[in-house]
Amino acid sequence: MTGRISFLILIFHFISFSAQVENENEYKDSIYITEVEDSHEPFKVLHAEPLYIDLIRDLGARKGEREWNLGMGLIDNNKFDKYEALVEYEWAPINRLGLEVELPFSIYSSADSPGTKLNGLKLAAQYTFLVSEASSTSMALGYIHEFEMTEFKNYGKGKFFTGNVFNPFFVAAKRWGNNFHTLLYTGPVVHQSFGSSSSHTSWEINSNFHYMIAGTRNFIGVEFNKSIHSGDFDMTIRPQMRVGITDNTMVGIVTGIPLNREDQRFSSFLRLIYEPKHKSTGS
């Protein structure tokens, strides 16, 4: 009899402890979400941003927000390895409008691979046209324009810029409760080479699911990066995690698993994110 009473007391304490932890986590979440969605500024829904195909500033960006990104990656191709690097600067000149400048690099070490190069100069803009507090939903339209460049070894031997890439896109994101986040990022990508009247278009459909750890900016999640070109469908699954290092510095780690390994095998990507604090601008 004494053993049963002790067991019941143990269960009661376990349930009480679990409820306390859950309440503490909900409290932490509510504090962090309130901090991001501060009512003294234009309302902004907290969303988890994907790490590989990232956004042009947060959805619902506020005037004065800024962010630096440094990225490094490795793609294990069937014939040669490809190293990626990028430098990004994002800022919001007015509420809900994000702008970005990016310099992406491709680096090769094999003699039979393409030449190492600065891929191009990428300029981008994104405007959040819907921010719904009631449904924790945001929607945005954006545009990326890339001026493609030649390989380093060809500098001074011909055209410096070799073509254009046009990429209008649409973003829709929703937070479910305090911790679960979904996002859709989609649009056409049109490549136009200089000296050629033809162009080729692919459709990018990127869907994301993330779980944000209670009371933090840390999350775990997955991107499904899908591409359709001339009837050919490709998809890369990218499990990922983001961890805060300081109040305004985070690191993101991504692994790429292609569904169809015609051209490449596994890949990895690391993103260092620095977001300086900004002053409240009001509405």
Both structure tokens of 154: 């060809």
pLDDT band of residue 9 (cuts 50, 70, 90) is low
What pLDDT digit, counting tens, does each position of 38-89 carry? 555 788 999 999 999 999 999 999 999 999 999 999 988 777 888 999 999 9
d(CA 197, CA 202) in angstroms, rounded, equals 17
Q: Is the pLDDT of residue 18 over 50?
A: no
Specify the pLDDT at position 219: 97
Among 6-20, 21-35, 68-82, name the most confident range.
68-82
Both structure tokens of 93: 């000149």
Q: Which of 112-116, 251-255, 265-269 has the lowest mean pLDDT?
A: 112-116
Of 166, 128, 131, which Cα lies nearest the Cα of 147? 166
Both structure tokens of 13: 């304490």
Question: Could you tell me which residues are beta bridge partners of residue 212?
Answer: 219
Dihedral pair phi/psi, residue 181, rounded to 5°: -130, 135
Specify the pLDDT at position 229: 87
pLDDT band of residue 115 (cuts 50, 70, 90) is confident
48, 32 Cβ separation under 8 angstroms: no
Exposed/middle/buried for residue 76 (C-beta within 10 Å: 0-12, 13-18, 19+): middle
First-to-final CA distance of the chain: 66
User: What's the sign of the alpha-carbon dihedral 64, 99, 115, 153?
Assistant: negative
User: What's the sign of the alpha-carbon dihedral 242, 246, 248, 251?
Assistant: negative
Q: Is the pLDDT of residue 241 over 80?
A: yes
61, 36 Cβ separation under 8 angstroms: no
Q: Is the pLDDT of residue 21 over 80?
A: no
pLDDT band of residue 14 (cuts 50, 70, 90) is very low
Threshold 0.85, pTM exceeds: no
Calculate mean pLDDT across residues 4-28. Answer: 49
Q: Is the pLDDT of residue 124 over 80?
A: yes
Specify the pLDDT at position 114: 83
pLDDT band of residue 16 (cuts 50, 70, 90) is low
Residues in the chain: 283
Of 166 and 34, the structure prediction assigns the larger pLDDT to 166
Dihedral pair phi/psi, residue 24, rounded to 5°: -65, -40
DSSP H or E stretch at residue 176: strand 161-176
